[in-house]
Amino acid sequence: MKIAFIGLGNMGSGMALNLQRAGHEVVGFDLSEAARQLHAERGIRIADSAQNAAQGAAAIITMLPASQHVEGLLLGHDRQAGLLEHLNAGALLIDSSTIAAATARRVAAAAAAKGIHFLDAPVSGGTAGAAAGTLTFMVGGSSATLERALPLLEAMGKNIFHAGDVGAGQTAKICNNMLLGTLMIGTSEALALGIANGLDPKVLSEIMRRSSGGNWALEVYNPVPGVQENSAATRDYTGGFGTDLMLKDLGLALESAIAARASTPLGALARSLYAAHSLAGHGTQDFSSIIQLLQENAGQ
């Protein structure tokens, strides 16, 4: 199947390569020249625009930073027509970016008006999961469209959940990321306390991982450099999940909490802490660098 893949960043990179490995004909596009060049070197056919990548594609997958990028690309901006205008009726459009559920529903309605089948299918599993093809997909849309998309999603992920109608995948994703954002802060706080009291972070991490404080951050995403060989922390907080992306997700969680009159005190506090960390100049670093904020606060 010919697939257009738009957005070859930290996540899109591994996802596009896995689709190609599964035997699909992938044509990629990214606004960044560096990303285009890197993926041409990795053997992905690169188009000179999103429109050219999507030409004649049976499926189009987008993996972009935020709502405004997805909306701008697909629906258009500044009186410029969006990509939807150029897609054939019957095409399958899958957005795997984490964006507002309301934006997903707007895009789905515009797609439906053109006979295009849309799914919101945000993911969890990080860049390691994207590279290994073990992502979790949280899908919103019709069962029939999901059925059609399944072979593509299975080439990129291991767990595929149907969360409900369009937008439900995004709602599930921000609930998960609100939990992850608070979990990373809690884990960092505990590690910073131990380090401040003279404990070896490797020893403390292993104790907590195997005790009642065990969690995903301690398993695969330790925030202290050097504790885990392949963590973003050990790579100087590069190449993972940016602080500004976590900040965006916590903003989406807060907006949906306001809309539903839900109480999310820890999510709101976590958003404030990531905002302070971003303002201090760490927005493009991996979100696990939040431990630095807590260590600075501890006077270290």
What H or E segment, with its residue span, contains residue 251? helix 243-260
Indicate the SS3 state at residue 153: helix
The one segment of 39-47, 52-60, 87-95, 239-247 that binds ligand NAD by CB under 6 A: 239-247
- Binding to ligand NAD by residue 14, rule CB under 6 A? no
Please state at what angle helix 243-260 crosses helix 265-277, rounded to 10 degrees. Answer: 150
Cα–Cα distance for residue pair 138/157, rounded to 1 Å = 11
Q: Would you give the binding string for ligand NAD spanning residues 196-235, x where CB under 6 A is met?
A: ----------------------------------------
Indicate the SS3 state at residue 17: helix
* 202 catalytic residue (yes or no): no
Strands in the chain per DSSP E: 2-6, 25-29, 45-46, 59-62, 76-77, 80-81, 92-95, 117-120, 123-124, 135-140, 157-164
Indicate the SS3 state at residue 7: coil
User: Smallest distance, Å, CB 1 to ligand NAD?
Assistant: 21
Active-site residue (options: 2, 114, 158, 173): 173
**Which residue among 47, 59, 123, 174 contacts ligand NAD (CB under 6 A)?**
123
- Binding to ligand NAD by residue 179, rule CB under 6 A? no
User: Smallest distance, Å, CB 299 to ligand NAD?
Assistant: 31
Residue tagged 């995903």 (tokens):
216
Residue showing the smallest CB distance to ligand NAD in the complex? 9
- Binding to ligand NAD by residue 30, rule CB under 6 A? yes
Contacts of residue 157, defined as CB under 8 A and 6 or more positions apart, other chains included, come to 123, 125, 129, 133, 134, 135, 136, 137
Q: How many residues in the shown chain lie near ligand NAD by CB under 6 A? A: 27
- When the beta carbons of 101 and 204 are compared against ligand NAD, the nearer one is 101
Catalytic machinery residues: 173
Judged by the rule CB under 6 A, the positions of this chain that interact with ligand NAD are 6-12, 29-32, 35, 50, 63-65, 69, 73, 97-98, 123-124, 126-127, 240-241, 245
